[in-house]
Amino acid sequence: MTTLVFGHKSPDTDSTGSPIIWAWYMNEVQGVPAKPVLLGEPNTEAAFMLQRWSLDKPEIIEDVADGQACVVVDTNNPAELPANINGADVRAIIDHHKLVGGLETRGPIEVTIRPVACTATIMHDLIGADMDKMPEAIKCAMLTCILSDTLEFRSPTTTDHDREVAEKLAAELGISIPDYAEEMFAAKSDISAFSDAELLRMDSKEYEVDGVKFRVSVLETTSPATVLNRKDSLMEAMKAVAEEDGVDQVLLFVVDILNEESTLIVPNDLVRTVAKKSFGAEAEGDTVALPGVVSRKKQIIPNLKV
Amino acid sequence: MTTLVFGHKSPDTDSTGSPIIWAWYMNEVQGVPAKPVLLGEPNTEAAFMLQRWSLDKPEIIEDVADGQACVVVDTNNPAELPANINGADVRAIIDHHKLVGGLETRGPIEVTIRPVACTATIMHDLIGADMDKMPEAIKCAMLTCILSDTLEFRSPTTTDHDREVAEKLAAELGISIPDYAEEMFAAKSDISAFSDAELLRMDSKEYEVDGVKFRVSVLETTSPATVLNRKDSLMEAMKAVAEEDGVDQVLLFVVDILNEESTLIVPNDLVRTVAKKSFGAEAEGDTVALPGVVSRKKQIIPNLKV
């Protein structure tokens, strides 16, 4: 049976690239038949990565069959995985998020979770000396994942080790990190093809704080003005998205990658209170700037209060 | 703050030795203050290991305080850990059991789970080149853990890698594996100091099958006759232990390490049915032999039916 390798339901660059990296390793080094798949459409930056390095776009799957052999990467949260994940046969997990609980396995498996910024960094270490055999295009995907998850080393999730691995790869590949990151972020910032609802769901996780359910969405961009130009219709779309998804409120943080700050859109008093209590920020109009805030994992979620 | 390193609530050799190994590594190599502790009295084989290599017996703790830094080894099951484990700050998990779910962490942590027989084998690999710095007594503990969990390579959980690591350690230490394993198993087989209830709880895990709650106890011994001589009083004690622990039935498998078989004690028709349905074994009297059955993880639990 071919093992399916996949990340989470909102495929960003790491959740698109890491399955490709790991399936290569399983096929070519471990000799275990494996296939990377996606649980949804890749975001613009992930799509850019595939095209830029001529990598095949992995097939999108809806669910996994009972007993299907799987490797889960870039998440350990059953809510971000196929509905039947606990019916499947999860063989390994490689991740860099906190342990959520809820994922169960049939037998002892390989689980590797490390507190670094990016799944691809962990894979680099697990692959070890076999990195020598990795094709250039897949090394390019690995570099792209690390630059994406670290926002070119700007995110506070970045560890020295993420930077070290990215710099080593870039040197080997003859890629200039600043030039390439600029290309990546420009691709990510082109949101013209997406509806408001798509933007709100693109990089989004649900969290409950004191009984209030939030969909916490971030949009990382080098051009926040392009997003904020659509503010009014985004605020309209928030209501519909919240209702459809069964949450109380969508929070949209527009992350300005280059200036290392966020703008939170403030459609109502609930979000005004969130801005005040969570970040000490007084929203005057319908947006509020949050200087220094770029990471949902390290800065937004741990501070969220209502 | 000193990080506490501990295994599960019924400290066998691996759950006693692995905290000692890892606390050494944290203190001496990583430079992070750490202390091995136990969640209960070590079993006879674990106590033998401590005495044989002049290792201090770790302090026994009752629970962990809110925010206490912890490293959890040899389990990932909250039911086998201190009551307040999800209030503590779990920094790392090193384990070789299936993922149970239920343990949550505050942030991204180091989780390493590998499908090998013994936690100490995983630690050997994680420690890598720093094994050179490890004192002999701690290497002896590492070897003891592997020989214990693999029943000197007889258990079907044994991987080539467990054997490889144990043989390398034994060669370095100038220890004869057969002679040393005989000493260990003799220590484990001396049950004279334990009450019947203590024997039933010594190496025991709770499992539910089709609504029936079992306490599945194993006693690994080179002298099954010594245990079976106490059969009548053990059967009496089963009722009291089941009632006190809120389970329907205690199952006691007396594992004959050297002959690689188990004897299941059959106090009633429920257990007679379990023997028949799970192992195809017809119990005539109040015991039944199960040839080849030595591993709870690989052979008993996956087959349990009522």
Place of tokens 């961009």: A221
Nearest to A212 by CA among A292, A278, A295: A278
Determine the pLDDT at residue A95: 96
Chain A residue whose CA is closest to B297: A107
B115 closest CB neighbour out of A97, A109, A113: A109
What is the pLDDT at residue B104? Answer: 81
Picking from B97, B101, B297, the nearest residue to A102 by CB comes out as B101
Facing B114 at nearest CB: one of A98, A110, A116: A110
Chain B residues close to A71, C-beta within 8 Å: none
Cβ–Cβ gap B108/A97 under 8 Å: yes
- On the question of pLDDT at B71 being above 90, the answer is yes
Cβ separation B99–A115 shorter than 8 A: no
**Given CB atoms, is A103 within the 8 Å cutoff of chain B?**
yes
Residue of B nearest to A76 (CA): B101
Is the CB of B128 inside 8 Å of chain A's CB atoms? no
For residue B123, the model assigns a pLDDT of 98
Predicted pLDDT at B163: 98
Buried b (16+ CB within 10 A) or exposed e, A162-200: bbebbeebbeeeebebeebbeebbebbbebeebebbebb
**Average pLDDT, integer, range B252-269:** 95
Q: What whole-number percentage of chain B has pLDDT above 70?
A: 100
CB of B95 closer than 8 Å to CB of B118:
no
Residue B89: band (very low, low, confident or very high) from pLDDT cuts 50, 70, 90: very high
Condensed to tens digits (0 to 9), the pLDDT of residues A157-210 reads: 999 999 999 999 999 999 999 999 999 999 999 998 899 999 999 899 889 999
Alpha helices in B60-176 (DSSP H): 119-127, 136-149, 160-173
Among B101, B107, B116, select the one facing A98 at the smallest CB separation.
B107
Does A96 sit within 8 Å of B99, measured CB to CB? no
A104 pLDDT higher than 90 = no
In angstroms, the Cα distances linking B95 to A73, A266, B84 are 19, 45, 20
Number of cross-chain residue pairs from A and B with Cβ atoms under 8 Å apart: 70
B99 touches chain A (CB under 8 A): yes
Report pLDDT for A107: 77
Decide if B98 and A105 are in contact by the 8 Å CB cutoff. yes
Residues of B in contact with A101 (CB under 8 A): 101-104
pLDDT at A106: 76
Which residues in chain A have Cβ-Cβ distances shorter than 8 Å to B102? 101-102
pLDDT at position B88: 94
Contacts of A96 in chain B (CB under 8 A): 108
A103–B102 CB contact, under 8 Å: no
Q: How far is B114 from chain A (nearest CA, A)?
A: 5
> Residue A295 pLDDT more than 80?
yes
Q: What is the pLDDT of residue A103?
A: 85
Could you tell me which chain B residue has the CA closest to the CA of A157?
B108
A174 and B CB contact within 8 Å: no
Residue A285 near chain B (CB below 8 Å): no
Is the per-residue pLDDT at B304 higher than 80?
yes
User: Chain A contact for B273, CB < 8 A?
Assistant: no
Mapping DSSP to helix (H, G, I), strand (E, B) and coil, where does residue B205 land?
strand
With an 8 Å Cβ cutoff, is A111 touching chain B? yes
Report chain A residues whose CB lies below 8 A from the CB of B105.
Answer: 98-99
- Among A104, A113, A297, whose Cβ lies nearest the Cβ of B101? A104
The answer to whether B114 contacts A106, with C-beta atoms less than 8 Å apart, is no
Q: Which residues pair with A217 in a beta bridge?
A: A204, A252
- pLDDT tens-place string over residues B133-189: 999 999 999 999 999 999 999 999 999 999 999 999 999 999 999 999 999 999 999
- H/E stretch holding B204 reads strand B204-209
Sheet with B59-60, edge to edge strand ranges = A59-60, A34-38, A3-6, A69-73, A89-95, A110-113, B110-113, B89-95, B69-73, B3-6, B34-38, B59-60
Do the Cβ atoms of B111 and A109 come within 8 Å?
no
What pLDDT is stored for residue B180 in this prediction? 98
Q: What angle do CA B299, B305, B306 make, to 5 degrees?
A: 145
Asked if pLDDT for residue B107 goes beyond 80, the answer is no
The whole-number pLDDT of residue A21 equals 98
Per-residue pLDDT at A88: 94
Residues of A with Cβ-Cβ distance to B93 under 8 angstroms: 99
Q: Which amino acid is at B301?
A: I
Q: Is the ipTM of this complex over 0.95?
A: no
Q: Please choose, from the candidates B190, B97, B181, the residue with its C-alpha nearest in 3D space to the C-alpha of residue B140.
A: B181
- pLDDT tops 90 at residue B45: yes
Report all structural domains of chain A as residue ranges with CATH numbers, in order of start: 3-186 (3.90.1640.10), 196-303 (3.10.310.20)
Q: How confident is the model at residue A100 (pLDDT cuts 50, 70, 90)?
A: confident
Question: Quick check: A105 pLDDT over 90?
Answer: no
Instruction: Give the model confidence (pLDDT) of A109-134 as tens digits.
Output: 899 999 999 999 999 999 999 999 99
The pLDDT value recorded for residue B83 is 95
B60 DSSP 8-state letter = E
Q: Does B111 touch chain A (CB under 8 A)?
A: yes
C-alpha atoms less than 13 angstroms from C-alpha of B68 in its C-beta half-sphere: 21
With beta carbons under 8 A apart, name residues in chain A contacting B114.
108, 110
Three-state DSSP class for B212? Answer: strand
Prediction pTM value: 0.85
Q: Which pLDDT does position B216 carry in this prediction?
A: 96
| Contact yes or no for A99 and B96 at CB 8 A | no
Nearest to A101 among B102, B112, B115 (CB): B102
Distance separating alpha carbons of residues B23 and A212, to the nearest angstrom: 41
